[in-house]
A = this chain, B = another copy of it.
């Protein structure tokens, strides 16, 4: 008897470090700075219940039937309206509904990349984007970044080398860094990508969670102002961070030429996203409650950011450095004296606090003294306790 042989791309694929840490996070004694997930105590349960109640009162048989691959017309209308108020040019006809933003990423990648095609990503970048590109067999090249944006000279050199199909980035409050790309950079990046026939995959799950400073136009809106409209940017967003991740509803605005092949591809991947959850989101958007809910989220996450940054400064002094993001859920930190974060994590697990070592977010050549901490789930008291535990873990490693 012979055993089944896996596809090459599936051999040795590893679960993400973030996922493995979930095991520890489930222990109620452990304080988790690891998960980049929205706080469920901030879900608009009244709005959700009103929505479900209204669905139950109206005719709702069709919400349990098959639907269109592109997504429910009513939802695309509502998302188009909402996006319009945010300055994001998304007509209902341009939108494709996805089963969460993760599927959007996989969908764009599968329609763009052949084995060996190149993709440029910021160093460091979203770990599940790396998983998608690796599964596709794309060649991933890291671009140096920082609080002031990407190294666009490096981007230009890489584009001139050829073979680059796309640039992937999260321009607002990136995961893991919390960095935001300045406007001048955005304009130049769109221009570079257009000149080289390279797609920009603009991943924007956190854009609405801005605490301070002014919103910056999306790469999509910059590209849409070109003659002939957007031929460059695949804009990805989701309801996961502002409404609910459990409904798995995301959306893409691709260049017009990409939408038909993407719709056919999605048909092969999962036929369509749940008719029921799409209609829940459409109804909730129609209720107009999202705007005030986002205000609630902004205030809450800013408070949590402030609590954690203060607690970390008080506990660590100069032994830990980090940025102060204007939005989103993450602090990108660096231990002093080049102490490896993975080593601190071992001690931290004993102290009952977890975070994600930064090496998970690099396709190659990780900077091992980095770490991502999330404040999204933390109250003020937990923040102080988390910082104290983390400091004890650090002390234990440094003493060694």
Contacts and interface: CB of A to CB of B under 8 A. Distances in A.
Interface of A: 1-11, 13-16, 19, 37-38, 40, 43, 45, 48-49, 52-53, 56, 61-67, 69, 99-100, 102-103, 106, 110-115, 117, 128, 131-132, 135, 165, 194-199, 226, 231-232, 240, 244-248, 255, 257-258, 261, 263-265, 267-277, 280
A197 B274 contact: no
A50 to B, nearest CB: 11
A52 B277 CA distance: 13
How many chain copies?
2
A283 to B, nearest CB: 14
Contacts of A2: 194-197
Given A6-B111, A114-B7, A61 B43 contact: yes
A56 to B, nearest CB: 6
Contacts of A271: 100, 102, 128, 248
Contact of A274 (B3, B6, B7, B248): B248
Contact of A7 (B6, B38, B65, B110): B110
24 contacts: A4-B232, A4-B258, A7-B112, A7-B117, A10-B110, A10-B261, A11-B261, A13-B265, A52-B56, A62-B246, A64-B246, A64-B247, A66-B245, A99-B99, A99-B274, A100-B271, A106-B268, A106-B270, A115-B115, A131-B264, A131-B267, A246-B276, A248-B271, A276-B280
A19 B267 contact: yes
A35 to B, nearest CB: 8
Contacts of A244: 64-65, 276
A65 B268 contact: no
Contacts of A8: 114
Given A114-B8, A232-B4, A275 B246 contact: yes
Nearest to A194: B1
Given A5-B197, A10-B112, 19 more contacts: A2-B194, A5-B165, A6-B258, A9-B110, A9-B114, A10-B110, A10-B261, A40-B61, A48-B64, A49-B56, A52-B52, A64-B245, A64-B247, A66-B240, A99-B273, A131-B267, A131-B268, A248-B270, A274-B274
A43 B63 CA distance: 11
Contact of A248 (B112, B128, B246, B273): B273
A3 B197 contact: yes
Contacts of A4: 112, 165, 197-199, 231-232, 255, 257-258
A390 B157 CA distance: 63
Contact of A103 (B53, B63, B196, B270): B270
Contacts of A113: 7
Contacts of A69: 19
Contacts of A65: 37-38, 40, 43, 244-246
A132 B264 contact: no
Contacts of A131: 264, 267-268
Contact of A67 (B38, B52, B246): B246
Of A131, A198, A246, A247, most buried by chain B (CB within 10 Å of CB) is A246
Given A53-B56, A199-B4, A261-B10, A45 B16 contact: no
Contact of A63 (B231, B246, B258, B270): B246
A10 B111 contact: yes
A3 B110 CA distance: 17
Nearest to A272: B248
**Nearest 10 interchain pairs by C-beta:** A2-B197, A246-B275, A64-B244, A64-B246, A131-B268, A103-B270, A10-B111, A248-B274, A66-B245, A102-B271
A65 B4 CA distance: 36
